[in-house]
Structure 1
Amino acid sequence: MMMDELGTETQQKRLPNYLLDAAGISIERMPMLNVIFDRMAASCTDSLQPMAGTPCYFSVSGISNGRVGDIIKEYEGNALAAVLYAEQWDARVLIMLDRDFVFTMVEALFGSDGAEPPIDVERAFSNIELRLVHVLFERFAKALQSAFAATADVTFRLERVETAMASLAIGRSGNMSICANIMLQALYRGGQMFLIIPHSVLNPLRQKLAHVVVSDGRAADPNWREQMESEVQRTEVTLNAVLDERMITLDDVAKFHVGQVLELDATPRTLARLESNNQVLFWCQIGQLDGYYAMQVADPVDQKREFVDDILSR
């Protein structure tokens, strides 16, 4: 075979790849992207659970294609952004947090109960807010790294945090990118996180992203599972039985005196709430056994119903 024929054959083999690159990333043809972003959202939820005094939930609300410059320009002066560097790819991706996201996380992490109205003032971010967001970006980078683990061996390093969107140069502003919108829900409010990954980063991963990988296929360690079950079953928990509650004023509390009797609306037939860690578990009947007060489980608690009733009561 002559050299020109070899060159023609090579070009023909590469032509489909060139066409795919020119066409960009089709989200519908990359179902693994949805899995990766869902995993990142779940990892963010788990990562912040020990830090926040209130539950914080992350969920993917949408994935779209767009030009990097257009996405960034829309949030000029209204967001904080982090540039993450992926050494294995020699590329950068962006994570942007809008103003509502930042203020909600600050309140959640500093113990707010959501009673105060959300901040609705256009102002610069404070040093405390910037430092806290820096910690959040580091956790989000690890969450993204974990989400990609089944698809690519990549490490994301927080390169810098920017308040000026014009400084977020990760390529030409006209370059196409994938933008995942991840919603935050906490304190009966929320915010938005935007994860921006250029097409040029994902193009080499097209084949892997075209197939959903549920797990890495490794078998569970039976010894580890048995030890985990044993430790969980031996964990000690504190149970509280609540027969009745009543609302009183601080003035009434100040007038308490020794020997005073506080009347309750409960009767011997009233069901008591069995709680652990402020979580209602069961409704119980009160009785006696061998000279001690005892609780007999009557009905399990409908957690969803209790949650709705608690919201309505507020």
Structure 2
Amino acid sequence: MATTQNANDIRDRLLDAAGLSLDRLPMLHVIFDRMTTFCADHLRHLAASPMYYSLSEIESGRIGDILEMYEANAIAGVFHAPEWDSHVLVGFDRDFIFTMVEVLLGSDGSEPPVDEERGFSNIELRLAQAIFEQVGKALQASFALVADTPFKFERLETRMDFAVIGRRNNQSVVAKFLLQSLNRGGEMFVIIPQSVLNPMRQTLARVLSGDSSTRDPRWAKQIATEVQKTEVTLKAVLEERHLSLGEIADLKVGQVLELQATPRSRVKLEGNDQGLFWCHVGKAEGSYVLRVDEFINQEQEFIDDVLSR
């Protein structure tokens, strides 16, 4: 038993030194192709202009060599994969960030692209963090085919020297994605240490499918029927106020809080803390009623939330 264990350890060390043969891991291409779809789906509803993700290449190399190419030209997000007991790095280059800012803030592409060497602004960093959280969900959904693990966003780095996910001379696999929108675009990259992928070599060598080849229409109809029976609590919000902790501590019984809202103010209808509709309040047969006026603009809600952080 000890001899077998030693042989496995030696084989793993040799593989770490030599690097994975990506041609023998076709499942990696399937996973990252799925990731392009998930990224596009997660962000499509936030932008007025269409965005296109595509997988440009997958290659192997040392972590330090890869990060050196993006020094002073990218924002990196470090994710923890607890089931793997390791970290994964996702990065956006400068053109990616500038393109995303324009897309999410409603640009029509008529202005020339930003072409200046400067540090990233607070708004750009906040938007990048919001996008990292969406990419983390795409990573989890994509790798669920071979290994189910959450990817927890830990921190954001603008200096590649601080984007540490292992020794800089360790081997890794990097997938590069191209974003295109508004006649411009940028690059997103994902760096995964080879030590994470080594235990999954056999699974990654076989092409698996997460989709069932046959579907039972009766079963699908029954699921849809049961889902529609799910109870959702609706909440009508007339006004929200922000108070400091000290102000809240000073509140007393009988104290009157003045509201800025009037009978003509719009009411926000929420379901499970998610804004759904803007409404107006009224009366009918002695009871208060709400009239639904319009859907809430999720894109604007997203942008307002990011800018208010």
Taking structure 1 as the reference length, the TM-score comes to 0.67
Q: Distance in 2 between matches of 1:13 and 1:174?
A: 22
Q: Indicate conservation of the 8 Å contact 1:58/1:184, yes or no.
A: yes
Q: Distance in 1 between matches of 2:76 and 2:3?
A: 46
2:33 aligned partner, one-letter code: D
Q: Indicate conservation of the 8 Å contact 1:182/1:194, yes or no.
A: yes
Give, in angstroms, the shift of residue 108 of structure 1. Answer: 0.4
Q: Distance in 2 between matches of 1:91 and 1:77?
A: 25
1:149 to 135, 144, 148: 144
1:57 aligned partner, one-letter code: Y
Long gaps (5+) in structure 1: 1-5, 231-314
What SS class does the counterpart of residue 137 from structure 1 fall into? helix
Cα distance per residue 1:88-145 (max 9 Å; x no partner): 1110011110000000000001111111100001111111111111000000010011
Q: Distance in 2 between matches of 1:64 and 1:126?
A: 31
In structure 1, the partner of 2:176 is: 181
In structure 2, the partner of 1:192 is: 187
Correspondence list, 1:83-94, <5 A: 83-94=78-89
In structure 2, the partner of 1:278 is: none
Give, in angstroms, the shift of residue 12 of structure 1. Answer: 4.9
In structure 2, the partner of 1:284 is: none
1:165 to 149, 160, 163: 160
In structure 2, the partner of 1:33 is: 28
1:100 to 95, 99, 108: 95
What SS class does the counterpart of residue 189 from structure 2 fall into? strand
1:197 aligned partner, one-letter code: I
What SS class does the counterpart of residue 76 from structure 1 fall into? coil
Q: Distance in 1 between matches of 2:198 and 2:8?
A: 17
Residues paired across the two proteins, number? 225
Long gaps (5+) in structure 2: 226-309
Q: Distance in 2 between matches of 1:226 and 1:8?
A: 55
Q: Distance in 2 between matches of 1:193 and 1:106?
A: 14
Correspondence list, 1:1-314, <5 A: 7-8=2-3, 11-12=6-7, 16-215=11-210, 217=212, 220-223=215-218, 225-226=220-221
Taking structure 1 as reference, are residues 139 and 77 closer, same or farther at Cα in structure 2, changes over 3 Å only?
same
Taking structure 1 as reference, are residues 175 and 116 closer, same or farther at Cα in structure 2, changes over 3 Å only?
same
4+ residue stretches of structure 1 with deviation over 3 A? 6-22, 216-221, 223-230
Q: Indicate conservation of the 8 Å contact 1:150/1:216, yes or no.
A: no
Give, in angstroms, the shift of residue 178 of structure 1. Answer: 0.4
Cα distance per residue 1:199-250 (max 9 Å; x no partner): 01111111110001122548535246448999xxxxxxxxxxxxxxxxxxxx
Q: Distance in 2 between matches of 1:13 and 1:121?
A: 51
Give, in angstroms, the shift of residue 173 of structure 1. Answer: 0.7
When the two chains are superposed, the root-mean-square deviation of aligned CA atoms in Å is 2.2
Q: Distance in 2 between matches of 1:109 and 1:181?
A: 22
2:162 aligned partner, one-letter code: S
More displaced stretch, 177-186 vs 122-131: 122-131
Q: Indicate conservation of the 8 Å contact 2:16/2:171, yes or no.
A: no
Taking structure 2 as the reference length, the TM-score comes to 0.68
1:185 aligned partner, one-letter code: Q
